[in-house]
Amino acid sequence: MTTPPAPKTPRKPTQITDETGRNVAANVRRLRELKGLSTYDLSRLLSAAGRPIAPSAIAKLERAERRVDVGDLTALAAVLRVNPSALMLPLTDTGSVEITGVGTVGAERAWDWMDGEMPIERIEPGDPSGALLQFQVYARPPGRRMQLSPGEEA
């Protein structure tokens, strides 16, 4: 006689525990609602953009129960008509924000870094380490690098 299969234990929902992931969840919901879109509307827009995400997956994303990969993030930003950093950071440029892998930094510094304007670390006057130059060389294409005059500080 065969034994019946063991009952399946329901899987606990994924919970996004990092601050950046929670920011993405909150910002997608905020922007979707500001634009008067339902999860079904947003799903249709994403499908039309070539990155289908089911309405139920969008709802999970907004509850921080579904991770967002880089392709999802880019498509969400495109269809919501914002830059990707607008999904990853809280909507403030004052006070402090937490960034996964970085820690707590000033909101203005976080935005400058996420928008590719400045390195995340503080640059001292005169920048003896060359950190700003290194950031510009590695993070920006030649035509998008900050142009400093000789002797000028960032």
What pLDDT score does 49 carry? 97
The domain locations on the chain are: 19-88, 96-144
Q: What is the pLDDT of residue 63?
A: 95
pLDDT per residue as tens digits for the range 55-69:
999 999 999 999 999
Measured from the Cβ of residue 9, the count of other Cβ atoms closer than 10 Å reads 6
Q: How far is residue 151's CA from residue 85's CA, in Å, rounded to a whole number?
A: 31
pLDDT at 139: 87
Question: What gap in Å lies between CA 3 and CA 16, rounded to an integer?
Answer: 38
Q: What is the Cα–Cα distance from 1 to 74, expressed in whole angstroms?
A: 54
pLDDT value of residue 154: 47
Q: What pLDDT, on the 0 to 100 scale, is given for residue 1?
A: 66
Could you tell me what percent of the chain has a pLDDT over 90?
A: 62
> Which residue ranges of the chain lie beneath pLDDT 70?
1, 13, 147-154
Q: What is the mean pLDDT of the chain?
A: 89
Candidates 2.30.30.30, 3.30.43.10, 1.10.10.10, 1.10.260.40; CATH matching 19-88: 1.10.260.40
Q: What is the structure's pLDDT at 106?
A: 95
Angle at which helix 55-62 crosses helix 39-48, to 10 degrees, equals 110
Residue 140's pLDDT is what? 83
What is the full DSSP assignment across the chain? Answer: -PPPPPPPPPPPPP---SHHHHHHHHHHHHHHHHTT--HHHHHHHHHHTT----HHHHHHHHTT-S---HHHHHHHHHHHTS-THHHHS-S-SSSEEEETTTEEEEHHHHHHHHTTSS-SSPPPTT-TT-HHHHHHHHHS-GGGS--PPTT---
